[in-house]
Amino acid sequence: MTHPAQPKASHFINGAYVEDTAGTPIPVIYAATGEQIATVYAATPAIVEQALSTAKAAQKAWAKMTGTERGRILRRAADIMRERNHELSVLETYDTGKPLQETLVADATSGADALEYFGGLAGSLTGEHIPMGEDWVYTVREALGLCVGIGAWNYPTQIACWKGAPALACGNSMVFKPSETTPLCALKVAEILHEAGLPAGLYNVIQGMGEVGAALVTDPRVDKVSLTGSVPTGKKVYAAAAAGMKHVTMELGGKSPLIIFDDADVENAVGGAINGNFYSSGQVCSNGTRVFVQKGIKEKFLARLAERTGAAVLGDPQDEATSFGPMVTENQMNIVLGYIEKGKEEGARLICGGKRADMPGFFVEPTVFADVTDDMTIAREEIFGPVMSVLDFDTEEEVIARANDTEFGLSAGVFTNDFSRAHRVIGQLEAGSCFINSYNDAPVEAPFGGVKASGVGRENSKEAIKHFSQVKSVYVRMGDVEAAF
């Protein structure tokens, strides 16, 4: 019997599901059981061509519609997503393995937020009038054209919407390629957009591995590439886009610091560390995986952390009582277990977890290491799993220098009851998305993105509009033209 997660076809092009079984089969594995629940086929060159040519052809008429008309469609799509939240959350759980307890409140809902927010902004995208004596200059905010979105596997619905909503609001078309690991949810986003009235050809989804992404990025018809992925992939995609002088947004990895001063509220600090390390089983780019704890609060913090981490409920992710799911794939589980072994070998003190959970699926126990030092592998490399490193510190100056001693710069957090210190410290941290007495809140109203190797550009908020549009300036002369001859 066909599993309910099996999509109607692999791709969504020109307003309809399209299949081409000549492409490489991609099995979709449910991370909680290891069973294959669906199959999609990677895009063949013919499918890539169909998606690009259809998106290119549809864009101009879309850009000519008023922003209010475009926005109305996006807001209708947001309403449909919210109505179908349960069904979409169940699918997100099959796609990623994340517990339903999370997906019900974090995935289709945040996708709907993006559609609603950018739908609301679409009608207010205007230029400026710049007086020049009798003459004047006016500016027009124009669409870029054809945009490509490429997603990571941790938030397949959210990423499809975070890229699609601002792109469409600005009058662009999009071809979106999900991660081969989680190909299911973006198809639903496309389906819902079209149900909401999006004209055919404007939001297309095609499947495939890195080579399909590379074919999209290098196509001369593409004006912009927005990638969510790792730093090594980001470097390749950025370089390929540069060869064609294309616009880019790069949302890449991190090894973010979470700094806990000894005047912090211990319960809140522990809660922040749990949210910043164990949500989505640690598969979150902005996670605060280097938890710097001031020595005065360290033992109290570790004791409560171990106690509360012990309350995580591992189990069937479709059961709403489960609060902690598996790694997305067996491969990712093995990578994470490898890092845990490195932590032990290099002398970090294991506080809790530290192994594969004794159950079916790709579960790794939520793991905390204490006495981690800056040079240990687990403190330097992005693990993308539930492995928290706790490091000690004495002074504010010392912790700022150590927090910044990394190639990454996605996020940073500070817990303290001294608000001048909180702002002073955040002001010196090299990171794009920061938190005070909180961690990992990412509402659509706030810009999101990194500095240093963690990325280029920003998603969400009014900032995203700048990255999906460009400004034309027009000088208007009222008098005669003077010329030298």
What residues act catalytically?
Answer: 251
Residue 85 Cβ vs ligand NDP, minimum distance, rounded to whole Å: 21
Element (H, E) at 463: helix 461-467
CB contact burial 112-145 (16+ within 10 A = b; e otherwise): bbbbbbbbebbeebeeeeeeeeeeeeeeebbbbb
Tokens 């995203």 sit at which residue?
Answer: 464
Outline where 131-184 has alpha helix (H). 156-169
| Distance from C-alpha of 280 to C-alpha of 38, rounded to nearest angstrom | 22
Residue 218 Cβ vs ligand NDP, minimum distance, rounded to whole Å: 9
Q: How far, in Å, are 53, 141, 146, 411 from residue 170 at the CA level? A: 20, 8, 11, 27
Who's near 87: CB < 8 A, 6+ residues apart?
Answer: none
Q: Which residues make up the interface to ligand NDP (CB under 6 A)?
A: 150-154, 177, 179-180, 209-210, 213-214, 217, 228-230, 233, 236-237, 251-254, 285, 382, 384, 410, 450, 455
Residue 445 Cβ vs ligand NDP, minimum distance, rounded to whole Å: 16
Residue 236 Cβ vs ligand NDP, minimum distance, rounded to whole Å: 4
DSSP secondary structure letter of residue 324 = B
Q: Which phi and psi (to 5°) does residue 267 adopt?
A: -60, -45
Spell out where 92-223 has E strands: 129-132, 135-143, 146-150, 173-177, 203-205
| Distance from C-alpha of 40 to C-alpha of 27, rounded to nearest angstrom | 7
Using DSSP's 3-state secondary structure scheme, residue 375 falls into coil
Q: How far, in Å, are 4, 116, 117, 262, 373 from residue 394 at the CA level? A: 54, 45, 43, 10, 13
Residue 209 Cβ vs ligand NDP, minimum distance, rounded to whole Å: 4
Residue 278 Cβ vs ligand NDP, minimum distance, rounded to whole Å: 16
Residue 265 Cβ vs ligand NDP, minimum distance, rounded to whole Å: 28
Closest CA to 112 of 182, 193, 178, 181: 193
| Distance from C-alpha of 101 to C-alpha of 67, rounded to nearest angstrom | 36
Q: Which phi and psi (to 5°) does residue 278 adopt?
A: -115, -10
Cβ proximity to ligand NDP: between 74 and 442 the closer is: 442
Residue 373 Cβ vs ligand NDP, minimum distance, rounded to whole Å: 23
Cβ proximity to ligand NDP: between 41 and 62 the closer is: 41
Reported residue count of the chain is 485
Strand duo 387-393 + 367-370: pairing: parallel
CB contact burial 360-391 (16+ within 10 A = b; e otherwise): ebbbbbbbbbbbbeeebebbeebbbbbbbbbb
Helix-, strand-, coil-residue percentages of the chain, each rounded to 5: 40, 20, 40
| Distance from C-alpha of 244 to C-alpha of 222, rounded to nearest angstrom | 9
Q: Which phi and psi (to 5°) does residue 239 adopt?
A: -65, -40
Residue 191 Cβ vs ligand NDP, minimum distance, rounded to whole Å: 20
